[in-house]
Amino acid sequence: MNSVIKIREIKRDFPLGQEVVKVLKGIDLDIEKGEYVALMGPSGSGKSTLMNLLGCLDTPTSGSYLLNGKDVSNMSDDELADIRNTEIGFVFQTFNLLPRTTALENVALPMIYAGASKSQRADRASEVLTDVGLADRMDHKPNQLSGGQRQRVAVGRALVNKPSIILADEPTGNLDSKTSAEIMDLFDEIHSAGNTVIIVTHEEDIAEHAHRVIRLKDGMVESDIRTK
């Protein structure tokens, strides 16, 4: 098997005054290259904490996390920043776009940190924006775009460095039902192109797009079901 993600006995504790809150209590998980996974769970289940660990935004208290064969469990902040920029494409509920820059510039931003030239950035960002259906909106700023178009820009930014994983946190949370369906169709296309996609959601209809649904409860994996 070609595991993109392999985590073993992952625990995450948070100090709270004199006590320690155990949020993740020893999780084992493998996600293979090209999988389409929904990560679900009620508030307090640990899914946001697990997402932060998968996205290298946080490190575990104990346990190991191999991302494409690299042990990221104990990396420094700078090393984790490099991993985030090259291996993980993030899509957030709130889009997180820079308001004073164009769609093209927003999408190209991760390539600056990756050291790409200006022409490389422009060519690749243009290619990705075309792929997500925004060829005619490249020079528009976020306030000139609809919510769905802004999320498409965010998806383009996530794809631009050709990451190992697309990690989406409630990507339709700020969108109406019609636009949500369009964005999920886009994720379906991204997965069909061979990308590994992990969507964190509390909505069953969003999770139905995935081929595997992992549910957390009380810091543990409650169920892990392949649906397609």
Split at pLDDT 50, 70, 90, the class of 207 is very high
Question: What integer is the mean pLDDT of 133-140?
Answer: 96
Task: Please report the pLDDT score of residue 102 as a whole number.
Answer: 97
Q: Percentage of residues in the chain with pLDDT exceeding 70? A: 100
Indicate the range of 31-40, 68-77, 98-107, 217-226 predicted with least confidence: 68-77
Task: Please report the pLDDT score of residue 44 as a whole number.
Answer: 87
- CA 143 to chain centroid, in Å, comes to 24
Amino acid at 202: H
Q: Where are the domains of the chain?
A: 35-61+83-226
Split at pLDDT 50, 70, 90, the class of 94 is confident
Q: Which residues contact 40 (CB under 8 A, 6 or more apart)?
A: 47, 200, 201, 202, 207, 213, 214, 215, 216
Split at pLDDT 50, 70, 90, the class of 114 is confident
Residue 1 has pLDDT above 70, yes or no: no
Q: What is the C-alpha separation between 118 and 114, in angstroms, rounded?
A: 12
- Yes or no: domain 35-61+83-226 corresponds to CATH 3.40.50.300: yes
Question: What integer is the mean pLDDT of 207-227?
Answer: 95
Supply the pTM of this predicted model. Answer: 0.92
- CA 24 to chain centroid, in Å, comes to 19
* Helix/strand/coil for 47: helix
